[in-house]
Chains A and B, each alone.
Chain A
Amino acid sequence: MAAKLPTSLEEVPEVILETDLLIIGAGNAGCFAAIEAKKLNPKLKVTLIEKAHIDRSGCLAAGMDAFNAYIKKGRTVEEFVRWSRSQAGGLIREDLTLSLAEVLNQPVEEWERWGLPIDYEEEGDEYHTRGKWDITIKGSEMKVILAEKVREHGCEVLNRVVATNYLMDGDRVVGAMGFGVRDGKFYAIKAKATIVSTGGAAGIYKPYNADGIDSHHQLWYCPFNVGTGYAMGIRAGAEMTTFEMRWCATRTKDYNGPIDTISVGYKTPMINAKGEKILEERYAHLGGDAAPRFIRANLPMEEWLAGRGPCYVDTRGMSPEQVRDMKIDYLNERPSFVLFLAARGQDVSKEPIEIYGSDPYIVGGHTASGYWVDIKRSTTLPGLFAAGDVAGGCPNKFVSGCAAEGMLAARGALEFIEKRPHPVTIDMTQIAGEKARVFAPAIRQVTDGDGIIPKEMEERMQRLMDEYAGGVHQFFRMNREGLEYALKHLRILKDQTRYLIARDLHELMEAHEVIDRLDVAEVLIHHLMFREETRWPGWQTRTDFPERNDERFDCFVNSRRDPATGEIQVFTRPYEQIVPGDRYQP
């Protein structure tokens, strides 16, 4: 039962806490970071803050049907780097990917020991494989299993606390602030080191199935991950990378659900309305069925544009056993897809499953968007480490990779604490300022009673981004003029956030979700404008620069917002190749 909304700032109770290691976001990466920290130093005080409830928060709320990144017997970490590099159009941080690949299997095997069922081949002791790097699991309860282990390791978990900004000591991060969405209290948590693992950003763009009622959150990605971790870093002046490598994917049409489950899991070809096997017949030169992910994302959109839609994954060759197995896979990841098929009365062995592009997301677990980090997963802000979807440069991590990165971030954070073990000091004016900022929409509701509700602003932002910054209704295409228009109006929206009102604590959370999304969207537009080429058709399609331009853009595009002026600087960082070979080939 949520507390009442305060009518004045004086009413808001303050909770000031201290810990050794603060982890923001108790999803997959955050939980693994917490457990790793406790394993390395059981005496360490580890605190996780989570906007939801740790048992079912983040991407794994409903579960998962596979680990898409596992180094199977006979494969090498270099092979994984080559594959990830080719899938991402030749642009990854190879140092990060190598260090990740070295520990990639650990969380998988740990989870199995904890009780997660992983499928095995009928013969021998090998995990059952789906694609080159994928193994299948029965993961519907995997987050509950993981949360139990976090508690068993003696970590402190604060559920229903929404992080809003970092606590700073000069340029060093010394914890975070936020508010309780149930208790209405303001929280400031001091920490010797902080790990951000809040997930990526959904809801920057309008989903195509956002009807007037009911399906606004019919998304592939977790809609409660709104880019808060990115936004907090942006506001504090952290360096960000590769936001322009958006994740747009081929998903099941209307339902907007996972597709690799069918296309990779059951080797069902993608076909267009004419029955052509699109990848085989039209994209053979790019690898056919093994074409990079952005090609696959763009594929149904291109077919629709050419008048050859709708498109499908052709499930008509599947046996009754395969159809049953596929439904079980979905029950472990997105159970309501099984309900969707039932609600269509669809027998997939007679009627193929339709596919379409998704709304674009910013997710460092699939693409390379996020904090610019070093090998220890330290961000450019001392004391702040990043893991999972918020950490940039290292795409194709997926669940196992985000977990492994949590472990790496914990190791980095512990080293940092060893070097600087003394308690941190903070300037209390920061706390007062942030408290006023956080509760402003609630106070405005009391003092003025008129303004903008968060949902209105969210929908305005989503339509703007969709139409002018390459959303799904524009077939992911964009040009400079459209991006400039989007930026102009984003700035107006950002200015108008002072008129946001919140009528309860849930709406106060929504207000900060839209504020955070706007900060992410602004940086995203800068990145999209800067890369004057088309490197990843679909993820980043510039109609005014349709070709790849290696001479200018075979590098990372990074940005930093000046905390003092709010000005966003965009610049490049060179590519460093470690693993030899053609970067565009696996």
Chain B
Amino acid sequence: MPPRVNVEKCDGCKAEKEPLCEQICPGDLMTLNRETNKAYCRSPRDCWDCMSCVKICPQGALETRLPYQLGYYRARLIPLMGTNKITWTCVDIHGQAERFVVKVRNE
């Protein structure tokens, strides 16, 4: 299931030749709608949920959602990228939140 694009937050990475999500997606799935100048996923069925686009988006405009066939509405998993760590926030369908801080690079 592809990331949902928050069109309020997405600015199409104006300064870039291609938006960062398009640059990074291993499946060549994220691209830019030339009319609206917002990113979208060209083939939702083909996303691997690797979250590379979510991690790289400078606006925090992307959110990975599971296919509904696999899990119920509406759980959330939000990574916040730091210099050497990622802070993950996960909210389950009952509204219970968990936070994980993971060091992903040695100093």
Contact = CB atoms under 8 A, between A and B. Distances in A.
A483 to B, nearest CB: 28
A215 B88 contact: no
Contacts of B23: 53
A61 to B, nearest CB: 4
A328 B28 CA distance: 28
A341 to B, nearest CB: 8
B94 to A, nearest CB: 5
Interface in B79-107: 79, 86, 88, 90-94, 98, 100, 102-106
Interface string B1-25: 1000000000000000110001111
A145 B105 CA distance: 8
B105 A116 contact: yes
Contacts of B22: 1
Given A61-B52, A339-B64, A112 B92 contact: no
Contacts of B98: 324, 327
Contact of B102 (A138, A217, A223, A509): A138
A218 B105 contact: no
Interface stretch (A37-45, A269-277, A279-287, A342-350): A342-350
Contacts of B72: 343-345
Interface string A315-344: 000000000100110011011101111111
Interface residues of B, number: 51
Interface of A: 1-2, 51-53, 55-58, 61-62, 112, 115-117, 138-141, 145, 160, 181-182, 209, 211, 213-219, 222-224, 254-255, 324, 327-328, 331-332, 334-336, 338-345, 506, 509
A328 B70 contact: no
Contacts of A1: 17-18, 22, 31-32, 34
Given A52-B28, A327-B98, 10 more contacts: A52-B25, A116-B106, A141-B105, A214-B67, A214-B68, A217-B46, A223-B48, A336-B51, A339-B66, A344-B71
Nearest to A53: B24
B75 A217 contact: no
A215 B1 contact: yes
B104 A328 contact: no
A335 B79 contact: yes
Nearest to B45: A216
Contact of B90 (A61, A211, A222, A342): A342
A254 B107 CA distance: 38
B28 A214 contact: no
Nearest 9 CB-CB pairs, A to B? A343-B71, A214-B67, A342-B92, A342-B75, A343-B75, A62-B50, A339-B77, A336-B49, A216-B45
Contacts of A224: 26-27, 48
Interface of B: 1, 17-18, 22-28, 31-32, 34, 42-52, 64, 66-73, 75-77, 79, 86, 88, 90-94, 98, 100, 102-106
Contacts of B17: 1
A139 B94 CA distance: 30
A443 B9 CA distance: 39
Contacts of B66: 336, 339-340, 343
A338 B45 contact: no
A340 B26 contact: no
Given A52-B28, A209-B69, A345-B93, A339 B75 contact: yes
B35 to A, nearest CB: 13
B106 A112 contact: yes
B76 A339 contact: yes
Contact of A211 (B27, B51, B69): B69
A56 B20 CA distance: 12
Contacts of A182: 18
23 contacts: A1-B18, A56-B25, A56-B26, A56-B52, A61-B26, A62-B48, A117-B103, A140-B102, A213-B45, A214-B67, A215-B45, A217-B46, A217-B47, A218-B49, A223-B46, A324-B98, A335-B79, A336-B51, A339-B66, A343-B66, A343-B70, A344-B72, A344-B93
